[in-house]
Each structure stands twice: as C-alpha cells, then as structure tokens.
Amino acid sequence: MTDVAILLYEGFDELDAIAPYEVFQTASALGADLSARLVTLDRVDEVTASHGLRVGVDGTLDPETDRPDVLVVPGGGWNTRSEAGAWAEAERGVVPDAAATLHAAGVTVASVCTGGMLLARAGLTDRRPAVTHASAVDDLRESGANVVDARVVDDGDLLTAGGVTSGLDLALHLVERFGDAETAERVATEIEYDRRFDVRVSTV
C-alpha cells in the first residue's frame, strides 16, 4: 500500500491539497493500492486554509517515527508574505525541517505551487530541477534550484508542480507512477479532468 501524507498548515491553499487528496482517494476507490491522509505537524483537530475553509485532519505526522511513502506539501500565502501560509511556515522552519528529515529517511517528497518554496527552504531543490507557481519562480531560482519550464517536474525522490491546479496533474502522475496509467486515466475520467501531460521526468 502506497501511503501518501498531505501536510497541512495554517494558511495553505485549499486546492493545492484537496485536489490531490481527491485524486488519490478516487484512485483508491477504483482499486489502486494507495491511501491518502491529511496530516499536520502540530497537534490540532482542524486547520484554516487561505480562503477560510476549515479542514479536519486525520492525525499528526511525527517526522522521526512516521514514514509515509510520499509527502505532499501544498503552498499558499508565499507571495503576499501572509501571517499564515507558506512564507510564514518557511520563516518558522518546522515544515522545511520535517520535509528534510523525511526526505533523508527515504520518503519521496512532492510539492504543489509555492509548497516548492518550503522544499527550497529545506535545501531539497538545491541544484535540482524544480518548478513552482509562476509568481515565485524568481525566488525559486535565487534559492539555488534549476528552474524548469514544465507543469510537473519528477526528479525521482523529489517532485514539484506549478501553480494551484497543477496539483491535479502531479497527483495523477503519482497514481500512474505508483500504480498504472490505466488507473490514472480512469481517475481523470471520473473527475472529468483533461490531463495536461507537461511533465518533465529526470532521466538521470
């Protein structure tokens, strides 16, 4: 069973997390050997997202003991330097530290939108191909990443996706990668989404 943990924090962008969650859960309902859960690093029952949606969580993720197969980090609030969101979490350091710890332990780490900046703050994108929301590309490049013009970048144990809706393509790509192309297509049909195959996969 492929265990996907989607990491929520105060001020995350709703679609960055909920769209992949629906893709993964739909894949599971269609028979894929995959499960998804919404987790936080802090012990809370719910998190308030960037547009005010309150989301209940499935539990707390302890990076030292809980090792999902895939960690998905959403973005939100980076460019506005919001008091809650990716920028605030980058400054706080807890999410980047957790991502770095899990990655070092062998967990595949993925991001949606400016969640990529949290991975950059963790040092995970240094000298590696990556992408983020178009408005934060300069920040990503300045952080030391090799910015790629693609909707999704798959560099093996590190995946990044562009702005907001690209989380759908990231999740479908992961369903295909950890499952099969047929299931990914069935999920896309079920949610009535026309996939965009602008995915850059590292050949090294």
DSSP SS3 for 6: strand
CATH of 2-201, one of 3.90.180.10, 3.30.1490.20, 3.40.30.10, 3.40.50.880: 3.40.50.880
Q: pTM of the entire structure?
A: 0.98
DSSP SS3 for 38: strand
Rounded Cα distance between 22 and 133, Å, is 21
Query: How long, in residues, is the chain?
Result: 204
Which residues lie closer than 8 Å to 62 by C-beta, 6 or more apart?
Answer: none
Determine phi and psi for 104, rounding to 5 degrees: -65, -25
DSSP alpha helix (H) spans, 49-93: 86-92
Nearest 10 degrees: CA dihedral of 34, 204, 168, 127? 120
pLDDT tens for the chain, 204 residues long, are 999 999 999 999 999 999 999 999 999 999 999 999 999 999 999 999 999 999 999 999 999 999 999 999 999 999 999 999 999 999 999 999 999 999 999 999 999 999 999 999 999 999 999 999 999 999 999 999 999 999 999 999 999 999 989 999 999 999 999 999 999 999 999 999 999 989 999 865
